[in-house]
Chains A and B, each alone.
Chain A
Amino acid sequence: MNLSAWPWLELTLLLPLMGAAVAALIKTPNTAARSSLAFLIGTLACATGAGLTFTEGTVRSWHGFAVDEVAAPMLPAFALLHFLTLLGTAKSRVSPMVCVRLLLAAFVNLGAVTAQDGWGIVTLLALGVLLPLWDLLSRGAPARGFLLHMLLFVPLLIVGWRMAENGQELGYGLLLLALLLRGGIAPLHGWLPTLFQGAKYGAAMVFVLPLLEVLAALRLLLPATPVWMLDAASMACLVTAVYGGGMAVVQDETRKFYAHLCVSQTSLVLFAVMLHTSNGLTAALCLWMSSMLALAGLAFSIRALEARFGALALHEHHGYYEQVPGLAVCFLITGLASVGFPGTIGFVPMELLISGSVEQGLWVSGTLAVAAMLNGIAIMRAYFALFTGKRPTTSVSLQVTPVERVGIVIITVVVFLGGWFSPGVVSSRHGTADKLLDRSSSQGTVHPGR
């Protein structure tokens, strides 16, 4: 049986759509969740298959979608993110519409990463905005701030790409601005804490964590954006990385803490992209995956805690360790992985980033190290606030459920094994980074001094 001839890509894209259609027809929340989980497992398997067949040398394309060197490793990672998001949704909070939105988000994200045409990416990025908005409106949460930001993002994206296609420099500027807004770069990040506070965690996660702005920057911006624009954007990202870290340290609400952590991490990845060097791009590609998986794991723990204890404040000690030690370990490991702790999936990418930035000056590396330091402090503060303190007494068992345990096992194994398999991942990402740079230089962009 020739597995590489299987329609992995087609199935990866169609299964979430089919799952969404099926979930929309189901009335019972639990049945909808089970069916969606089955579709997401299938998507994960097919995405892995698509990634593996690409590494074996088989290139498949289908109606403007294709698996290439950027998409191949990200497909399984994206599918895993959506699978974990549904796995971490508490039974009491799941509904058929939640499943539909999640599966549609899976389609949008997987489609965007495999889309080869610029307009395809732009369309999917613009469509993706509707899902969290739908969630916000369905919950009756304040959505105007998010809507205003996105009303700025979508036209900037469309007009920017239209002008950029015609070779106008302003187009790249507008596109860059749109992507910085989507990435939550300060001062355009106001929508991110609002989204995490108002929307369901799952909806916010699948909108923010895939970091589609990084993808768009790689595919749309890098080929021809003037260097001075990239340099200016990289400085904005650098400042945001420190700002997000500092804000995460002082937050008193878990959701805002998480939102600012996302702001800081996204800025680090975008900064690496904007460096536009071989090292920088390699770091960006590695950090993209590691940040996404680590932050997904962190969110998994926080959601499981919120499902048990409600909204969590960080200015007091809750003492949940004794009741849910598994979640405590998961929180700590994934949190530390996101800041590049040795032995985890984030270590090598973070080292690469900090070393790769030294060409800009030692102070730039120092600033990145400070951002990582602040994130590390924020994570440890949150850990102590959530898991240490006097044990609350409860009349019912709050132990980790078997489904949650599966999630914890997957996350911790991925975070640790990712650390051990870093060399192979880095060398493949380095090849991809060089190809992206070659493509940009072949399109005539001159980058003096790089």
Chain B
Amino acid sequence: MPAFDKVLSGLGLLVVAAPVLLLAVFFGAFLCNRRLQEHTIGRLIQGTITISLLAAVTAGVLMLWHRIAQHPIELGDWVITPHYHLKFEFVLDLLSLSYAGLTLVLCATIGAFSTRYLHRERGYQRFFVLFGVFLLGMLTASLSDTVETLFAGWELVGLSSVLLIAFFHERPSPPRNGLRVWVVYRLCDVALLLAAILMHEINGAGDFDHLVGKNAWPAHDPLLIGPHFTLLGVLFIIAAAGKSALVPFSGWLPRAMEGPTPSSAVFYGALSVHLGVFLLLRVSPVLDSSIWLSVFLVLLGLATSAYAYLVGRVQTDIKSALAFASLTQVGFIIAEIGLGFRYLALVHLLGHACLRTLQFLRAPSLLHDHHQLENAIGARPREEGVMWEGRLAPGLQRWLYRFALERGYLDSLLDKCVARPFVASFRALDALETRWARLLDGERPPAAQPKPAPRPPS
């Protein structure tokens, strides 16, 4: 059925082409130095998501109707040399369409919410440009069938995410936190890049189907055994850990809450934080290649859940509390993947993302909701439940409290062990270079500052 295949391919391409066109409009406006009206931007966003969503739903229904489990969409070889092969390819299957559908539904909700929430905000257009970049990145990553396509989408999501964290850029802390998130993202992108290269080494191509066979997700043909696959699995886990804020990279998650609420909802409550999970689901056959990888994944997931639960208990602002609650569930989903429950993990992911988006969007009106609840029941709602921590020894309680308050010391650990030595050593080299340059130029080094006299003990 070549005609039917073409229809499916066309629909799949339309899903991604719509946000590309949206960004082309924004880019054209930038080149012509034109500022778009708020209602124009709103309509553009609405139209783009509607087209993409209709295309995705139609493709899904057609595939269900004709009992097609997967449909690859080949865009041709982007770059082909005898030694190198770069291919952009999409795939329509249960996993990709589910995640793309989730992305579109949540982006439609957030888009509609944001047009009102950010009304007359100074950076209105900037927000929606970044939102468009995020949408394109998510859809590209969701539908990707080669590791390069996934990497392209992955990077777009990372960039838009960081720039949205720094959205309120007149304050010093959003850019500072944005930079910190960027550092973690870049660090983990190195792992994904190396995984891509290793895939090329193993299969001669970056196609997922070369790796896991032609069967539709989550089944796979070959038994992937060997040290190469274990290394590949480790690299994928590191990449996913960075994107999904798993331990030990969890420190960036509360920092990411600096951005506007809609972006926090869509990024850290729903979609971006699950992108690492999506990656692990996509390459899950690789994770089966070694029992140790699965065990490691389960432990990583559970450790992240425990950490996020503890830290979330002491948060004093609603967005951070929700972010850690979200992370708790992400940890469980990761553990489910490690245990081999792929469908359960997918369903868990979809449900959790929807619930968390709703919670994030209601977060600014929490007090109002609470008042309405009190008015409805005529009294204050009773707090129920058992605080199990109360049964612990007082010393342990205090330690746990402090551990949670300091967010597991993860940030300070990374600061102390990685960031500070790095900056100190390069600053020392810089000082050395400056002295060398001065020496060559025949300049006198600046006079040494006299050391201040020691202060008398008070």
Contacts and interface: CB of A to CB of B under 8 A. Distances in A.
Contacts of B122: 322
A194 B182 contact: no
B446 interface: no
A250 B189 CA distance: 21
B152 A342 contact: yes
20 contacts: A145-B437, A149-B440, A194-B437, A246-B422, A247-B433, A250-B423, A279-B84, A341-B159, A342-B155, A348-B86, A362-B197, A377-B182, A380-B162, A384-B169, A384-B176, A389-B170, A409-B31, A412-B27, A416-B27, A423-B77
A79 B168 CA distance: 40
Given A142-B443, A373-B186, 4 more contacts: A190-B433, A249-B426, A348-B78, A384-B175
B132 to A, nearest CB: 13
B433 A250 contact: no
B449 interface: no
B441 interface: yes
A416 B194 CA distance: 25
A388 B166 contact: yes
Contact of B152 (A250, A282, A343): A343
Give chain B's interface residue range (CB within 8 Å of chain A): 35 or more
Contacts of B422: 246, 249
B396 to A, nearest CB: 39
Interface string A315-335: 001010110001001000000
B178 interface: yes
Contacts of A273: none
Interface of B: 27, 30-31, 33, 77-84, 86, 122, 148, 151-152, 155-156, 159, 162, 166, 169-170, 172, 174-176, 178-179, 182-183, 186-187, 189-190, 193-194, 197-198, 200-201, 422-423, 426-427, 429-430, 433, 436-437, 440-443
Interface in A133-152: 142-145, 148-149
Nearest to A341: B155
A430 B80 CA distance: 10
A117 B138 CA distance: 52
Interface string A345-385: 00110011011101000100110011001001100110010
B179 A384 contact: yes
Nearest to A256: B430
Given A343-B156, A413-B31, A390 B189 contact: no
Contacts of B151: 342
B169 A319 contact: yes
Interface string A183-207: 0000000100110000000000000
A240 B225 CA distance: 37
Contact of A362 (B31, B79, B183, B194): B194
Contacts of B81: 278-279, 282, 426-427, 430
Contacts of B77: 423
B175 A365 contact: no
Interface of A: 142-145, 148-149, 190, 193-194, 243, 246-247, 249-251, 277-279, 282, 317, 319, 321-322, 326, 329, 336, 341-343, 347-348, 351-352, 354-356, 358, 362, 365-366, 369-370, 373, 376-377, 380-381, 384, 387-391, 405, 409, 412-413, 416, 422-423, 426-427, 430
Contacts of B156: 342-343
Of listed B166, B172, B426, residue having the most chain A CB within 10 A: B426
Contact of A358 (B33, B176, B201, B426): B201
A190 B197 CA distance: 34
Nearest to A422: B79
A388 B79 contact: no
A351 B178 CA distance: 26
A264 to B, nearest CB: 12
Given A142-B443, A380-B179, A422 B437 contact: no
Nearest to B188: A373
A388 to B, nearest CB: 4
Contact of B79 (A247, A321, A352): A352
B155 to A, nearest CB: 5
Contact of B166 (A376, A384, A390): A384
Contacts of B187: 373
A304 to B, nearest CB: 15
B83 A362 contact: no
Contacts of A342: 151-152, 155-156
B442 A142 contact: yes
Contacts of A369: 190, 193-194
Given A380-B162, A384-B178, A409-B31, A351 B86 contact: yes
A355 B81 CA distance: 12
A140 B262 CA distance: 54
A373 B189 contact: yes
Residue among B33, B122, B156, B198 with the most chain A CB within 10 A? B33
B436 A336 contact: no
Given A193-B433, A376-B186, A358 B197 contact: yes
